[in-house]
Structure 1
């Protein structure tokens, strides 16, 4: 069956999808709670969401604010406020855009890379503790399945709805 097909799925498949969806919602809530706990410990005064900008800049390279907003599915004003905080804390710097001197790019600083690396080490330590009683094969299987799930989501976003709840997908 083709991705994004509107064909009706068998009940057993839909029931399993419902159970998986419930577990994913539970997972997202637990991750949000864990991030909140970490944020409470952070003395730097930076919004937790601002670290998503730093992550993006480190993995995608220097970006304009508009590109970050698109990448992070956020408003430009929000990205601008959060990136200003990162600049003030010395984690991100503004650079002139080589393609358009009137514009600027945001890029991580050496301190931003250090802070990111420290946060990553802490996250990895926590995840290793969470999975500490799992055997190696189960950990690798989970990683592979998460990668497959993320790729499937990236390739099959649900159609957007307008404010009336009517699908705006072509042919819908």
Structure 2
């Protein structure tokens, strides 16, 4: 019985290692594609962190800065600097929290929403290319698995 458990553990470990390798490979390919096409959607020259911040904010806005920091798992000073750049470019705005007048929240401006739409369009095109070896059913299964995670 002990041998079976050990074999099961070894098989599970090998599967986990392969999954880690495949996810890493997929993410590196995605990152490289996004980086190579960033000139098409990053017209404001806000960089990777700026784009990720706008995408995060699009999902949770309006939000307190600490909520954005938690969502992005980044250093607060890095997020604060990015917020200042995004605000200076007219992509986000600060507003008063309706529940607590002492708290300031951030939200996308119309211009910021436009940048998010452009980024999502470009990302969609990139993913279409990356996922092109998969047929429609495989892409649907992949989407379902991602939603489950």
TM-score (norm 1): 0.75
* Alpha-carbon distance in 2 for matches of 1:90, 1:43: 13
Aligned partners of 2:93 and 2:108 also within 8 Å: yes
> 3-state DSSP class of the match of 2:45?
coil
Residue equivalent to 1:22: 21
Structure 1: segments with no counterpart, 5+ residues: 1-6, 152-172
Aligned partners of 1:47 and 1:82 also within 8 Å: no
Residue equivalent to 1:36: 35
The answer to whether residue 114 in structure 2 is matched with residue 114 in structure 1 is yes
Q: Give the CA RMSD over aligned residues.
A: 2.0
* Alpha-carbon distance in 2 for matches of 1:146, 1:66: 26
Residue equivalent to 2:65: 65
Residue by residue, what CA displacement relative to the aligned partner does 1:126-167 show, whole Å, maximum 9, x if unpaired? 22233334321111011112223xx2xxxxxxxxxxxxxxxx
Q: When the two structures are aligned, how many residues end up with a matched partner?
A: 143
* Alpha-carbon distance in 2 for matches of 1:139, 1:67: 32
> 3-state DSSP class of the match of 1:86?
helix
* Alpha-carbon distance in 1 for matches of 2:128, 2:27: 18
Aligned partners of 2:93 and 2:109 also within 8 Å: yes
Distance of aligned partners of 1:118 and 1:105 in 2 relative to their CA distance in 1, 3 Å threshold: same
Q: CA deviation at 1:15?
A: 0.8
Distance of aligned partners of 1:32 and 1:132 in 2 relative to their CA distance in 1, 3 Å threshold: closer
Q: CA deviation at 1:67?
A: 1.4
The answer to whether residue 139 in structure 2 is matched with residue 139 in structure 1 is yes
Distance of aligned partners of 1:80 and 1:35 in 2 relative to their CA distance in 1, 3 Å threshold: same
Aligned partners of 1:83 and 1:92 also within 8 Å: yes
Structure 2: segments with no counterpart, 5+ residues: none
